[in-house]
Amino acid sequence: MNAFDLHWFHVINQHAGQNPALDHLMVFLAKYSLETYAILFIIAWFALPRREVDRRHGLVVAFVGGVIALIINTIIGAIWYRPRPFVALPHDQVHQLINHPNDTSFPSDHTAGGWGFASGSWGRTARWLSWVFTILSLGVTIARVYVGVHWPTDVLAGVVVGLVSGAIARAFSGPLEHVSNLLMRIFRMGHYARRRAYR
């Protein structure tokens, strides 16, 4: 294992188990971030005014950014296996706060997906949602190392994959409008929202 990963893993992971409140926060971010993103997407989709088109389309672009990131990660993981810290290091050198399968560590799926969502949303969704996605992604990046299941370069690679994926999704914003229109038609939103009849 390279010196960078060893040093920064211990710098971050050494704090695990010292503060119960911080441990609970980091465990939540490390385990349930994707579920949290899903809830945020659903809330934002239905909280927007029914006739809002652009910001709903921005949600679709952001979602696709995360999906692209996870696809890229799957390909990388299939090519290269990297043992996780709790496998590569002696037990007494890792403070592992969550159980995790002994699958490949590189890159971090949670980090890549989160930054794919976040970067895909930049400039396209409600500002508050982009900020929430970005702050949540930053927290997840730290948490996955803190809880002992990733090396620092795993999450840094995840950030890069996520940023690239978000950029790809934004570049294909035009074709993705077909997906947005289909969803808005299903939910009777945007151009398909029913106008209120006045007498």
Q: Is the pLDDT of residue 154 over 80?
A: yes
Give yes or no for a contact between 154 and 88, defined as CB atoms under 8 angstroms apart.
no
46 pLDDT more than 70: yes
Once rounded to an integer, what is the mean pLDDT over residues 129-147?
96
The model's pTM is 0.91
DSSP labels, 111-162? HHHHHHHHHHHTTTS-HHHHHHHHHHHHHHHHHHHHTTS--HHHHHHHHHHH
d(CA 155, CA 142): 8
pLDDT at residue 197 is higher than 70 = no
Positive or negative, the Cα torsion across 136, 141, 145, 149?
positive
| pLDDT tens-digit readout, 169-196 | 999 999 999 999 999 899 988 777 765 4
Of 96, 82, 84, the C-alpha closest to 143 is 96
Q: What is the pLDDT of residues 68-89, one digit of tens each?
A: 999 999 999 999 999 999 998 8
Report the pLDDT value the prediction gives residue 72, as an integer from 0 to 100. Answer: 97
**Between helices 127-146 and 20-47, what is the axis angle to 10°?**
150
Written as one letter, the residue type at 118 is A
CB 105 within 8 A of CB 80: no
- Structure confidence at residue 196 (pLDDT): 47
Q: How confident is the model at residue 195, as a pLDDT?
A: 54
Domain covering 3-91+104-192 assigned CATH 3.40.1350 in the classification: no
